[in-house]
Amino acid sequence: MGNCGCTCSDTKEKKLQEIIEKYKDLEGALIPVLHEVQDVYGYLPLSVQTKIANGLNVPLAEVYGVVTFYTQFSLYPKGAYKVQVCLGTACYVKGAGAILEEIEKELGIDVGKCSEDGKFSLDACRCIGACGLAPVIMINEDVYGRLVPSDIKGIIQKYKEKVD
């Protein structure tokens, strides 16, 4: 954060304080705050958690405990393209396992990891509810369905070629 030389870290910090202000009198504020702060920063590093703990006046241990309990919250940054492979039951019985393996091979990263250039991250996710299209993957907001392993190369290639 903040090493890009611009003022974006200040803007983020300001947004963080606004979020804390908005929720601090709400009963059970921590989870809504974490959701919104993660939208601002993209993830929840310890430095950000410390600020939340101070702002809401709860122990850092409690914040960390909640962040690590829920899969939606991440301690690590995600890639510019977040690849999510649905491993819900409907997708699994239709071969989502092989799709996942193919993507791991194609991206050269394991599940839960981010590529070194920060372009791709790969996660296995729970049912995204497009069971009629099983097996499905999501890359950011785009959904690809009715896949077979040989489709993967072409799909990933499209994103590799994209320039931000």
User: Can you give the binding site for other proteins, defined by CB under 8 A?
Assistant: 27-32, 34-35, 62, 65-66, 69-73, 87-90, 92-94, 98, 125-134, 136, 143, 145, 149-150
Q: From the CB of residue 115, how many other CB atoms can be counted at a distance below 10 Å?
A: 16
- Assess contact for 67 and 30: CB atoms under 8 A: no
Q: From the CB of residue 96, how many other CB atoms can be counted at a distance below 10 Å?
A: 22
Distance CA 92, CA 135 (A): 7
Q: Three-state DSSP class for 115?
A: coil
Compute the least distance from the CB of residue 30 to other proteins, in Å: 4
Compute the least distance from the CB of residue 10 to other proteins, in Å: 27
Compute the least distance from the CB of residue 16 to other proteins, in Å: 17
Cβ distance to other proteins smaller for residue 40 or 128: 128
Cβ distance to other proteins smaller for residue 60 or 143: 143
